[in-house]
Amino acid sequence: MKTDIQTTILRPLLTDDAEIVADIFRDSVLNGTAPHYSEAERIAWAGPKPDPDRWRDRIGGSVGLMAEVDGGAVGFMTLQAPGHIDLAFTRPAFAGRGIGAELLNALTGIAQAGGARALTSNVSRAARPFFERHGFKITAYGSIVRRGVTLANYDMRKVL
């Protein structure tokens, strides 16, 4: 019997990763959040063709990690000081394989080493179950507006 074991490698997220980060983000939003958001909501959230410069700026101000499987980028997560998880996206084809957990565990260690006593994040309906499984609790219900469309989200927190 053949077993398909794939090893996940975590590496630092670089500003040169902006294009692949944008691609993972769009794939995750457009295809991975369909059970939680309408097509109109997903299109508004994903936006038009991504601007690599905007993504370079966004990831450049954070500590981030990229997850790779068989040399291909499949997910990323960023941490802003003192303990805020800003971006957390995995390709839908790799959802449920523990990649998000590996990224979160690694960034939790970095946050703790930096003195953080809690982690916070603003999460989508799609991401809420993941964060709850990892000990985050909802602290507020909110929303964001993307291209005129209101999207529900949650402020979440986990004490370290």
The model's pLDDT over 9-62, given as tens digits with 9 standing for 90+, comes to 999 999 999 999 999 999 999 999 999 999 999 999 999 888 889 999 999 989
Structure tokens belonging to residue 64: 């981030």
CATH number, domain with residue 143: 3.40.630.30
Residue 123 belongs to domain spanning: 8-159
Task: Assess if residue 62 is contained within a domain.
Answer: yes
Structure tokens belonging to residue 143: 């929303």
pLDDT digits (tens, 9 = 90+) for 101-143: 999 999 999 999 999 999 999 999 999 999 999 999 999 999 9
Task: Assess if residue 1 is contained within a domain.
Answer: no
| Total domain count, the chain | 1
Provide the CB-side half-sphere exposure for 136 (13 A, CA). 27
Range list of H helices, the chain: 18-27, 39-46, 52-60, 99-113, 128-133
Task: Assess if residue 2 is contained within a domain.
Answer: no
pTM of this structure: 0.93
